[in-house]
Every structure is written in structure tokens, then in C-alpha cells.
């Protein structure tokens, strides 16, 4: 009876099995391989011993190769990219790295191969509004929200991508407002298809500007359908055929030939503040609104944002549904983990139990941090989920065993020669060194020995400028004399924690502490209020917070020239004195000793902190 009630059940199970097959194929190939004189690395780095085993060369030959070039390499030392390339080039082997496990690719492949043959229904188009700074895209969206939908409730949550939905002529349209084209390009570079259509907003006075041109190049590259909206801020000055033809010519030169000139690009001319102009734009958007979906299939889509709720501290994932229907309590597969959609709310903050294709919902309960563009999939088959978890657990365990800790060229490196009274003591010393590796400092054991150092080890110690750690016995006077005569730093102890304390001292000695400026907030001057007692900068905080107790500097022009550094005298919002103003809010700022503000200036708040500059690299 269940198959009769839901003919998709059988196909859904098959598709779920398909997900396991795709994951298995992506996770099987985790070994280093040599094929056709090409070394394929499954990990970021490889040890000398692993290299020899993979390409069939004696480890002694590899170590001798580097020794003859004045470089010491131990069998278990992770080789840098340069060292690996040098050796492989000497034996005519090319090096390529295998890609990391990409869950975006896995879910995208699954969604493409598991398309159901059931009933297709229309879904709302997903439209991105793009344009040069101050060309009116935000004004356009504000008009749409005010005239077509209720304003979104204030949630106090800053989003990388703001979303809204309008209903026009009985059809929904989902809008994405990207904070800048660079973020939008980042989405596409990750292989994410978030939008069906782009509305390119152009100021009727400025025409095509530098950022507009960059966006157009991008649209050509990805062949995205495009509408152009010419925004007249002062129609009396710009709404004439001469000016419109100027912009049409610019569009034609960028291979966006207007429809009225024999091309394919619809150009809408109007004011972003006027309802009639916006309605005309929406009518043209609906001409493209022929997008289909399978609402009965398991939901899948992309992450728009992921953040902690400022009040509750709970993890919130903002999801764009691209196909299927997402339901409360659905099990969500995201970034190789499973979570549950416990609470869902729409873009207005209203609780919902389902989300349809092209909807955007905020979901709590998944508890999986995710980046913009990560893909998710609703998977409610517990048996298949168990298989997926088993495949991934095996993959991560295998990855853990075969992945050495790669050295970082940005860190300081301290070479060590480890000597102990027994193999067990040497192993304990080796493990201690591994545990003591710090963020700013790599400890590399270039040589290990049981017993006294021979002449080879002494020469190696000098060549590599190593420090000697001796554990488990007191070296004889003859060896101490030799070490001192060769200016070799050494430390010996029979107590392991004393060795550990010495390692801490070595690590601490490599720190480079520096007092640096840390930016805590940025405000942009939108208007200057001139008064006889001093000018006030009317600002909007664009990043972080502006606080009265922080020092500030003023930047001007494209070169961001620093023209003043000092303190805030007054910080107000709505004529009320404030201690701090958060991102997105407007305020008035008065500085001590400076009032020569210009529109576009940036006021940057900062404080000075002491940091280990090596750890920051």
C-alpha cells in the first residue's frame, strides 16, 4: 500500500543508495599512488619513508640525495613541497595532489543524478540584484519590500546575503542582495548556482562604472540571464533619449545589446523609488519565470549563512531550498555530518513547518557550522544515513593514519637531535616533541639515536644547527666536552618533565612579541554637518563597532591615506550620547582636534594589543 500511496518511495530508496555509492567512490582513493611517472598525493605532505614506499625507491637513497645537497632529512620527516619536487624531478617523476573530499561536489552530483521523473511544478525565480556602489540597488530592494511585502522584522542578525520575497501578479520572486560582487563571484567559484537571473542596476548619471564592468565580465563568463535597470535619481537631468542612448551604447560595447537595438537584453528605465518603475521591472522578471522543481523529492540546496544567534547562542543555518520540500525534523546531511531541522522560520521570522523550492529559511538544530555555498541534503532514511556515517568514519580514520603533520614555511623551525638510553625512552621523547609543537614554532627531529652520538651525528647536528636533547642518562664527560668544543647546545635529564620544561623554554624563545593595531570597527562618513564650534561627521557603521574608549584614525581617498589619528570626543545616535554603535547603525561622530571631514572618509576604530607575530602568520 505504501508504494501505491507514494510511487516515489522505491525511487527514493534507490537514490539514497546512490548517495552511498557516490561517497564510497570519493572516499576510496585515499592512498598515495604512482601512475605513468606521476606521483598522486592523497595528503598535503608525505614523509621520506612514505615516498620511498610509494615510488619503490630505497629510503637510504632518498636521504642520501638530500644529504649530498647539504640538507638533512629523517625517514619520518614530512617533506616540504620544494624538497619533494627536487627529489622527484631528479628521478623524472611529476607530482600532483589529489583533491580533498568535497561534500559540495558529492551532494551536487547526487542531486543531478537522482532527478525524479515525477510531476514538475513551477517554482519562484531566484533573482540577484547587483550594481556599482550607490547606484541604487538597495533603494530598489527597499521599494520592493515596502510596496510588495511587509518589512522584515528586526532580528539584530548581520547577514552576508540579505534575502526577501515579493509576490507580484500572484507569483513569488525570491531576491538575493549580495553585499558586493566579490562575494557573489566567490559563490560561483565554489561551483554554486544560487541565482536564476541578475538585475544589473546602473545609475543614469554615472553610466557603467568600474565595478559594473567587472560584474558584466562575470555575467558573460557564467552566461547568466540579465536584466538592466537604469536608475534615474534625478529624472529631470537624466531621463532623455540622448543620455539613455549613451548608456545603451556603453552596454552594447560590453556585448549587452539592448532589445530595442536588436539585441537580447531587456533594459528598464525608471526610478528605484517609484512603484510604477518597480512594477515594470517585476513584470519583465516574470517573463523569465519558467523554472521547475520536484516538490515531492527530498530537499536539497545551499547554505546562505551560518552563525550563532546573538541572544541564545544557538547555531543558525540559513538555507536556500533549490529543490524538494524541507520539513521540520528532517535529517540534514551537511559537510559530512548529520543534524536535525528542529525549528524553522522564514525570512520574516515567522515559524514554519515546511519550506518549498526557492524559499529561504533559518534553521536551528542542525548544529553544523557551514560556509556560504556549502550544499545540504535532507536524508531521512536511517539505514542509509548509517551507511554514510560508516563510510565517512572509515575514510577519516584512514586519513588520520596516513596524514603526517606538514611543516609550515611560515613558522619558525627548530631542529632537534634526540638521544636516549633505550628505544622506549627514545619513543617517549619523540612523542613529547610531537606534543610540544606550537602555533608559531615547528620542532623537527632531524636525527634520533640510542646511546652516544657518533661522528656522523655530530656532523649532522652542526650542519642543521640542531639542539641536542638527551633523555634517560647522563652523557659521559668526553661527549660533553665534544659538544662544548663544537658549540652545540644540549640538555640532558633522566626526568621526562624536565625535558618537557626545556622544550617549553625553546618554544618560548622563538616567540616574537609585537604591539600591533587591531581594528574593531569602521564607519563611513555619509554627510558632514557644519557648525561654528566644529563639524560633525554623519556616519554609518559598516563593520564591527565604534566605541568611545577606542582610538581612531581617518582614511581618505582610494589610496586610503591616513590623515588623522586621535580620540572620539562625542558619539551620538538620534541625538542621544552613546558608548558604542554597532554595524548597520547610523551615528554622529565628533573627534578631538579634527573636523575637516569629507563624504566618503572612513573612521576606523582600533586598539593596540600584544601578539606573537609568528603565530599570526
Residues 213-252: tens digit of each pLDDT: 888 887 887 788 899 999 999 999 999 999 999 999 999 9
Dihedral angle sign, alpha carbons of residues 88, 93, 95, 98: negative
Contact 37/93 with Cβ under 8 angstroms? Answer: yes
**What pLDDT is attached to residue 434?**
79
pTM of the entire predicted model: 0.53
* Contacts by 22-25, CB closer than 8 A, 24 or more apart: 22/106, 22/109, 22/110, 22/113, 23/106, 23/388, 23/391, 23/392, 24/391
From residue 403, give the alpha-carbon distance in Å to each of 44, 96, 101, 228. Answer: 8, 16, 14, 51
List, in sequence order, every residue forming a beta bridge with 586; answer none if it has no partner. 540
Nearest Cα residue to 72 out of 451, 455, 444: 444
Same fold, 412-509 and 514-616: no
CATH of 514-616, one of 3.30.2310.20, 1.10.287.70, 3.30.750.24, 2.40.30.10: 2.40.30.10
pLDDT at res. 309:
67
**Which CATH superfamily is 412-509 part of?**
Translation initiation factor IF- 2, domain 3 (3.40.50.10050)
* Set of cell numbers at residue 15: 537514490
Please, are residues 173 and 166 in contact by the beta-carbon 8 Å criterion? yes
The candidate with the shortest Cα–Cα distance to 125, out of 184, 228, 195, 229, is 195
**Domain extents for the chain?**
33-97, 125-288, 300-395, 412-509, 514-616
Q: Are strands 315-323 and 300-308 parallel, antiparallel or unpaired?
A: antiparallel
Architecture of domain 125-288: 3-Layer(aba) Sandwich (3.40)
Query: What CATH superfamily is the domain 300-395?
Result: Translation factors (2.40.30.10)
* Residue segments in the chain with a per-residue pLDDT below the cut of 70: 1-16, 28-30, 43-44, 98-100, 115-118, 147-162, 178-193, 307-313, 371, 398-411, 422-424, 437-440, 512-513, 611-617
Q: How many CA atoms lie within 13 A of 447 on its CB side?
A: 28
Amino acid at each position: 500500500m505504501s508504494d501505491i500511496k507514494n510511487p516515489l518511495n522505491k525511487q527514493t530508496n534507490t537514490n539514497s543508495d546512490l548517495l552511498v555509492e557516490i561517497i564510497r567512490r570519493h572516499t576510496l582513493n585515499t592512498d598515495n599512488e604512482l601512475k605513468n611517472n606521476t606521483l598522486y598525493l592523497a595528503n598535503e605532505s608525505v614523509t621520506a619513508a612514505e615516498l620511498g614506499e610509494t615510488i619503490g625507491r630505497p629510503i637510504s637513497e632518498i636521504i642520501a640525495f638530500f644529504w649530498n645537497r647539504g640538507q638533512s632529512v629523517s625517514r619520518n620527516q614530512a617533506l616540504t613541497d620544494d624538497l619533494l619536487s627536487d627529489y622527484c624531478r631528479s628521478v623524472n617523476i611529476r607530482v600532483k595532489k589529489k583533491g580533498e573530499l568535497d561534500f559540495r561536489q558529492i551532494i551536487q552530483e547526487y542531486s543531478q543524478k537522482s532527478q525524479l521523473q515525477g510531476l514538475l511544478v513551477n517554482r519562484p525565480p531566484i533573482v540577484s540584484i547587483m550594481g556599482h556602489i550607490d547606484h541604487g540597488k538597495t533603494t530598489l530592494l527597499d521599494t520592493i519590500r515596502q510596496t510588495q511585502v511587509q518589512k522584515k522584522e528586526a532580528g539584530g542578525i548581520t547577514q552576508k546575503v540579505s534575502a526577501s520575497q515579493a509576490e507580484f501578479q500572484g507569483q513569488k520572486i525570491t531576491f538575493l542582495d549580495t553585499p558586493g560582487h566579490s562575494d557573489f563571484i566567490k559563490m560561483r567559484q565554489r561551483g554554486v548556482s544560487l541565482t536564476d537571473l541578475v538585475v544589473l542596476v546602473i545609475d543614469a548619471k554615472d553610466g557603467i562604472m568600474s565595478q559594473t564592468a567587472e560584474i558584466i565580465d562575470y555575467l558573460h563568463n557564467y552566461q547568466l540571464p540579465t536584466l538592466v535597470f537604469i536608475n534615474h535619481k534625478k529624472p529631470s537631468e537624466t531621463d532623455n533619449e540622448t543620455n539613455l542612448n549613451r548608456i545603451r551604447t556603453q552596454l552594447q560595447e560590453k556585448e549587452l545589446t539592448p532589445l530595442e537595438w536588436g539585441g537580447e537584453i531587456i533594459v528598464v528605465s525608471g526610478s528605484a523609488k517609484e512603484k510604477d518603475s518597480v512594477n515594470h521591472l517585476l513584470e519583465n522578471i516574470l517573463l523569465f519565470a519558467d523554472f521547475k522543481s520536484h516538490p515531492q523529492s527530498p530537499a536539497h540546496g545551499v547554505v546562505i549563512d551560518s552563525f550563532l544567534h546573538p541572544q541564545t547562542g544557538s547555531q543558525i543555518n540559513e538555507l536556500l531550498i533549490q529543490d524538494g520540500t524541507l520539513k521540520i525534523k528532517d535529517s540534514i546531511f551537511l559537510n559530512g555530518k548529520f543534524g536535525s531541522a528542529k525549528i524553522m522560520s522564514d525570512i520574516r521570522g515567522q515559524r514554519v513547518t515546511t519550506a518549498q523550492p526557492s524559499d529561504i529559511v533559518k534553521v536551528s538544530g542542525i548544529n553544523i557550522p557551514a560556509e556560504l555555498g556549502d550544499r545540504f541534503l535532507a536524508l531521512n532514511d536511517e539505514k542509509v544515513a548509517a551507511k554514510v556515517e560508516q563510510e565517512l568514519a572509515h575514510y577519516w580514520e584512514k586519513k588520520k593514519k596516513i596524514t603526517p603533520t606538514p611543516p609550515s614555511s611560515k613558522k619558525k623551525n627548530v631542529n632537534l637531535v634526540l638521544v636516549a638510553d633505550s628505544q622506549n625512552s627514545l619513543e617517549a621523547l619523540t612523542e613529547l616533541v610531537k606534543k610540544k609543537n606550537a602555533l608559531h614554532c615547528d620542532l623537527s627531529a632531524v636525527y634520533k639515536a640510542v646511546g652516544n652520538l657518533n661522528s656522523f651525528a655530530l656532523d649532522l647536528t652542526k650542519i642543521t644547527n640542531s639542539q641536542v636533547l638527551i633523555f634517560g642518562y647522563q652523557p659521559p664527560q668526553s661527549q660533553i666536552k665534544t659538544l662544548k668544543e663544537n658549540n652545540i647546545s644540549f640538555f640532558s635529564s633522566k626526568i621526562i618533565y624536565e625535558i618537557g620544561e626545556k622544550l617549553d623554554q625553546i618554544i618560548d624563545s622563538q616567540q616574537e612579541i609585537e604591539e600591533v593595531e587591531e581594528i574593531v570597527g569602521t564607519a563611513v562618513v555619509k554627510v558632514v554637518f557644519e557648525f561654528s564650534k566644529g563639524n560633525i561627521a554623519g556616519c554609518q557603521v559598516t563593520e564591527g563597532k565604534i566605541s568611545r574608549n577606542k582610538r581612531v584614525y581617518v582614511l581618505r581617498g582610494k589610496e586610503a591615506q591616513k590623515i588623522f589619528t586621535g580620540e572620539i570626543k562625542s558619539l551620538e545616535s538620534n541625538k542621544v550620547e552613546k558608548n558604542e554603535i554597532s554595524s548597520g547603525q547610523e551615528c554622529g561622530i565628533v573627534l578631538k582636534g579634527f573636523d575637516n571631514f569629507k563624504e566618503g572618509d572612513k573612521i576606523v576604530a582600533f586598539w593596540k594589543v600584544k601578539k606573537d607575530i609568528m603565530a599570526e602568520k
